[in-house]
C-alpha cells in the first residue's frame, strides 16, 4: 500500500494524502462536520490542488462503496459517538454466559440497566426487535443500545446472571 | 393606595411601555438593516464586518441617522459579542492542535509577531501616543482575521494545499498570543504603578497559563461534565459557563474575553462540536451588535482625517504579512506559488483588531477611528488580494510545466502518530 501521510489542519480537520503509482498526488480532508474534500493535487504546482471535490457523508459512502472499501467499521465507529450519549454495541453471546438459552425478559437487562436489545444476529440472519420471550442462544450476536456505563453493566449481567445483579449499581446520568 | 398614586403608577407604566416600544422598534429596524447588509456581503462573497462598522458610523454620533433610545442595549449586546467571539475562537482549536502548532510553527509565529506588531507600534509612537496606545495599535496590525481567512481558503478551494497548514498554524499562534496580550493590556490599562502593575501582570499571565494547561490536560473531563443529549441543556450550560467565567476573569482583572477563550479551549470533542453549532448563531447576532457598536462610538467626522494614515498603515502591514507568509511557507519547503498564496492569504484583518482597538478607546481617542478605517480597508482588501495571488504568481513566474516527481513536505506519516 502507498504511504499515507497525515497532517492536522487546526480548526478544519485532518488531511490524508498519498502518491499513486502513476505519480498523481491524491488527498482527502476530513472536516469536523463529517464533510470530506477529495483532493487531486496539481501536477504543475504540487503545492496546490487542481481539483477539489466536496463530498457530503452520503457521497463519501457511495464513493467508498465504488472503490470497494468496507465502510462498515467506520459506520459503527461513528454511530458509537453520535447517537446523543447512547452507544450501540455488538455483544457475542458466549456459551458460558448465564444468559445463554434464557428468554430476554429473564435476564432483567432492560429493567436493571436500561439497556435494550434492538436486534439479534443469528447464523448470519438479523432478527430485528426481538420480543421479550426471545431466547438468546450461544453464538448469537446481540445488538444493544444504552449509555456507555450501562452497557458495561449489561455485559456483567449477561455473563453472571443473578449473581451480578447485586453488584450492579444502576447509575444514571 | 390613594387615587393620585394610582394615576402616577399608571402614568409610569404607560411611559415604560412607550419606551419599550421605541427600543424594540429601533432595535428591530437596526437588526433588519444589518441583515440586509449581511445579504449584500454574502452575495459579494465578502465578510459583512466592514459593512456593520459602516452602519454603526452612519447611525452614531454625527452620523446620518443617529439612534436615540437603544444604544445602551446595543452596548450591552456588544460586550456579550466580544465574549462569544473569543469563546468560539477557543472552541475552534483542540489542545493537541495548539501544542502541535506551537511546535511546528513557533519560528513562523515569532516572525509574524516581529514583522506585524512593530509597524503598528512604531506608527503609534510616531503619532506621539502613549506606549500603551501604541502597543494596542501594534496588536491591531498584528492579528489576522482567522474567520475571514478560513472562509477565503475554503471558498478558493485551498484548504488542501500544502501551504495551508503553515497559514493555519500562524493563525493558531496569533490566537494564543492574544491569550497573553489581552490580560497584559487589561492590566496596563488600569494604570497601576510599576511594582503593582508587574505583580498584577504576573498574576494575570500565570492564571492564564495555569488555566490553559488545565484546559489542555483536563479538557476531556470538563467536557464530560458539560455534555448532555439535550441541546437546550447544553446551550444553557455553555452560555452560562462562558458568562460566569468571563465575569470572574474580569473581576480578577484578567479580561473577560480571555475567560471566555479559556472556556472554549477547555471544551473538546463532540461537546465542542455541538457547542459550535448551538452558540454559533448567538455569536453571529452579538458579534454583529459589537461591530455596530464600535461604529456607533466613532464620530464620523474623526474618521476622514485618519483615512490616509490608515491606508498607509494598511499598505505597509499588508506587505509585512505577505513577507511573513512568504518566509514561513518557504521554511516549510513550499515553492514560489504556494509562498505567494500563503502571504496574500494572511493579509486580512478583522474582528480581533476591532476587539483590541475597543479595549483602548478611552486611552487614545484616535485609536478607534484609525483602527476602524484600517480594518475597513484590510477586511475588504485582504480577501481580494488573496484572490489576486494567482495572476501575481504568473507575473513573477510563468506557470511551470507538469512534473511527475512530487516532493514530500512537512506532513508526518500516519504510522508515527498512533
Span A105-147, pLDDT tens digits? 888 888 888 888 888 888 777 888 888 888 888 888 888 888 8
Of B54-58, B71-75, B112-116, B383-387, where does the model show the most confidence?
B112-116
Average pLDDT, stretch B365-382?
92
CB A25 within 8 A of CB B406: yes
Lowest mean pLDDT among A45-54, A63-72, B142-151, B301-310: A63-72
pLDDT (0 to 100) of residue B361? 81
Average pLDDT, stretch B126-131?
93
Q: Do B402 and A32 touch (CB under 8 A)?
A: no
Cα dist from A125 to A48, A117, A121, whole Å: 48, 15, 5
CA distance B331 to B289: 40
CA distance B236 to B275: 10
Q: Do B160 and A45 touch (CB under 8 A)?
A: no
Q: Domain-by-domain residue ranges, chain B?
A: 29-394
Q: Is A147 on the interface with B (CB under 8 A)?
A: no
Report the gap between the CA of B100 and the closest CA in chain A (Å): 9
pLDDT (0 to 100) of residue B2? 58
For residue B37, is pLDDT > 80? yes
Q: Do A11 and B100 touch (CB under 8 A)?
A: no
Torsion of CA B191, B194, B195, B201, to 10 degrees: 60
Chain B interface disruption, residue of A3, A9, A11, most B CBs within 10 A? A11
Q: Do B172 and A10 touch (CB under 8 A)?
A: yes
How many Cβ pairs within 8 Å bridge chains A and B? Answer: 114
Chain A interface disruption, residue of B90, B162, B276, B280, most A CBs within 10 A? B162
CA distance B86 to B265: 10
| CA B366 to centroid of chain Cα atoms | 20
Confidence of residue B3 (pLDDT cuts 50, 70, 90): low
CB A139 within 8 A of CB A77: no
Q: Is A171 on the interface with B (CB under 8 A)?
A: no
Report the gap between the CA of A25 and the closest CA in chain B (Å): 8
Of A12, A48, A49, the CB nearest to B168: A12
Q: Could you tell me which chain A residue has the CA closest to the CA of B265?
A: A11
Q: Do A41 and B406 touch (CB under 8 A)?
A: yes
CA distance B74 to A13: 35
Q: Do A49 and B228 touch (CB under 8 A)?
A: no
Of B101, B157, B400, the CB nearest to A52: B157
Of B160, B165, B337, the CB nearest to A49: B160
Q: Do A52 and B403 touch (CB under 8 A)?
A: no
For residue B289, is pLDDT > 60? yes
Please name the fold of domain B29-394. Answer: Na+/H+ antiporter like fold (1.20.1530)
Q: What is the DSSP string of A19-74?
A: E-TTS-EEEEEEETTS-EEEEEE-SSSTTSEEEEEEE-HHHHHHHHHHHT---HHH
Q: Could you tell me which chain B residue has the CA closest to the CA of A78?
A: B270
Of A12, A45, A82, the CB nearest to B159: A12
Q: Alpha helices of A42-86 — where are they, by DSSP H?
A: 57-67, 72-82
Q: Is A68 on the interface with B (CB under 8 A)?
A: no
pLDDT (0 to 100) of residue B400? 58
Q: In this predicted model, which residue has the larger pLDDT, A165 or B210?
A: B210
Lowest mean pLDDT among A69-73, B11-15, B103-107: A69-73
Report the gap between the CA of B92 and the closest CA in chain A (Å): 5
Confidence of residue B324 (pLDDT cuts 50, 70, 90): very high
Of B198-212, B251-265, B306-320, where does the model show the most confidence?
B306-320
Partners of residue A19 in chain B, C-beta under 8 Å: 406
Q: Is A172 on the interface with B (CB under 8 A)?
A: no
Report the gap between the CA of A162 and the closest CA in chain B (Å): 32
pLDDT (0 to 100) of residue A164? 43
- Mean pLDDT (chain A) is 79
CA distance A91 to A74: 18
Kindly provide the residue ranges of all beta strands, DSSP E only, lying in B167-269, ordered along the sequence. none
| Residue A89 phi, psi (nearest 5) | -135, 155
CA distance B378 to B376: 6
Q: Could you tell me which chain A residue has the CA closest to the CA of B339?
A: A47
For residue B283, is pLDDT > 80? yes
Q: Domain-by-domain residue ranges, chain A?
A: 5-69, 83-167
CA distance B360 to B363: 5
Confidence of residue B235 (pLDDT cuts 50, 70, 90): very high
Please name the fold of domain A83-167. Answer: Alpha-Beta Plaits (3.30.70)
Report the gap between the CA of A152 and the closest CA in chain B (Å): 18
Q: Do B172 and A48 touch (CB under 8 A)?
A: no
* pLDDT < 50: residue spans in chain A: 71, 162-173
Confidence of residue B80 (pLDDT cuts 50, 70, 90): very high
| Residue A88 phi, psi (nearest 5) | -105, 130
As given in the structure block, the three cell numbers for residue A75 are 459506520
Amino acid at each position: 500500500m502507498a504511504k499515507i501521510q497525515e497532517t492536522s489542519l487546526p480548526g478544519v480537520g485532518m488531511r490524508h494524502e498519498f502518491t499513486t503509482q502513476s505519480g498523481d498526488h491524491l488527498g482527502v480532508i476530513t472536516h469536523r462536520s463529517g464533510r470530506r474534500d477529495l483532493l487531486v493535487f496539481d501536477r504543475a504546482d504540487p503545492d496546490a490542488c487542481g481539483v477539489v471535490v466536496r463530498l457530503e457523508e452520503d457521497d463519501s459512502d457511495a464513493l467508498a462503496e465504488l472503490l470497494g472499501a468496507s465502510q462498515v467499521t467506520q459506520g459503527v465507529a461513528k454511530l458509537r459517538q453520535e447517537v446523543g450519549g447512547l452507544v450501540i454495541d455488538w455483544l457475542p453471546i458466549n456459551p458460558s454466559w448465564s444468559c445463554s438459552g434464557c428468554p430476554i425478559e429473564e435476564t432483567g437487562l432492560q429493567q436493571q440497566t436500561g439497556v435494550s436489545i434492538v436486534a439479534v444476529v443469528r447464523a448470519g440472519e438479523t432478527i430485528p426487535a426481538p420480543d421479550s420471550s426471545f431466547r438468546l442462544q450461544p453464538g448469537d450476536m446481540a445488538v444493544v443500545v444504552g449509555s456507555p456505563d450501562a452497557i458495561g453493566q449489561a455485559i456483567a449481567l449477561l455473563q453472571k446472571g443473578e449473581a451480578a445483579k447485586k453488584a450492579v449499581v444502576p447509575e444514571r446520568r | 393606595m390613594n387615587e393620585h398614586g394610582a394615576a402616577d403608577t399608571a402614568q409610569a407604566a404607560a411611559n415604560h411601555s412607550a419606551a419599550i416600544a421605541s427600543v424594540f422598534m429601533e432595535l428591530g429596524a437596526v437588526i433588519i438593516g444589518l441583515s440586509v447588509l449581511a445579504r449584500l456581503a454574502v452575495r459579494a462573497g465578502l465578510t459583512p464586518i466592514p459593512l456593520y462598522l459602516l452602519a454603526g458610523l452612519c447611525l452614531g454620533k454625527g452620523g446620518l441617522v443617529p439612534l436615540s433610545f437603544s444604544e445602551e442595549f446595543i452596548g450591552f449586546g456588544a460586550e456579550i459579542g466580544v465574549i462569544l467571539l473569543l469563546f468560539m475562537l477557543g472552541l475552534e482549536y483542540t489542545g493537541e492542535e495548539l501544542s502541535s502548532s506551537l511546535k511546528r510553527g513557533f519560528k513562523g509565529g515569532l516572525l509574524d509577531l516581529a514583522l506585524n506588531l512593530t509597524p503598528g507600534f512604531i506608527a503609534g509612537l510616531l503619532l506621539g501616543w502613549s506606549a500603551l496606545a501604541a502597543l494596542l495599535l501594534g496588536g491591531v496590525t498584528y492579528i489576522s482575521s482567522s474567520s475571514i481567512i478560513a472562509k477565503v481558503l475554503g471558498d478558493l478551494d485551498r484548504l488542501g494545499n500544502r501551504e495551508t497548514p503553515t497559514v493555519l498554524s500562524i493563525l493558531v499562534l496569533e490566537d494564543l498570543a492574544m491569550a497573553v496580550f489581552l490580560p497584559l493590556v487589561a492590566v496596563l490599562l488600569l494604570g497601576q504603578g510599576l511594582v503593582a502593575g508587574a505583580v498584577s501582570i504576573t498574576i494575570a499571565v500565570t492564571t492564564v497559563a495555569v488555566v490553559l494547561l488545565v484546559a489542555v490536560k483536563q479538557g476531556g473531563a470538563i467536557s464530560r461534565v458539560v455534555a448532555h443529549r439535550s441541546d437546550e441543556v447544553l446551550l444553557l450550560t455553555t452560555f452560562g459557563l462562558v458568562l460566569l467565567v468571563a465575569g470572574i476573569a474580569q473581576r480578577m482583572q484578567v479580561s473577560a474575553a480571555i475567560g471566555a477563550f479559556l472556556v472554549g479551549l477547555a471544551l473538546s470533542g463532540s461537546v465542542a462540536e455541538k457547542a459550535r453549532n448551538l452558540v454559533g448563531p448567538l455569536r453571529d447576532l452579538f458579534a454583529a451588535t459589537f461591530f455596530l457598536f464600535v461604529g456607533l462610538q466613532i464620530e464620523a467626522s474623526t474618521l476622514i482625517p485618519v483615512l490616509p494614515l490608515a491606508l498607509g498603515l494598511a499598505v505597509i502591514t499588508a506587505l509585512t504579512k505577505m513577507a511573513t507568509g512568504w518566509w514561513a511557507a518557504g521554511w516549510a519547503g513550499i515553492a514560489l506559488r504556494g509562498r505567494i498564496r500563503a502571504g496574500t492569504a494572511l493579509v486580512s484583518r478583522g474582528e480581533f483588531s476591532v476587539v483590541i482597538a475597543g479595549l483602548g478607546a478611552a486611552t487614545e481617542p484616535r485609536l478607534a477611528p484609525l483602527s476602524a478605517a484600517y480594518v475597513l480597508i484590510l477586511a475588504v482588501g485582504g480577501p481580494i488580494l488573496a484572490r489576486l495571488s494567482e495572476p501575481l504568481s504568473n507575473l513573477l513566474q510563468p506557470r511551470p510545466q507538469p512534473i511527475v516527481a512530487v516532493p514530500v513536505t512537512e506532513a508526518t506519516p500516519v504510522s508515527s502518530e498512533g
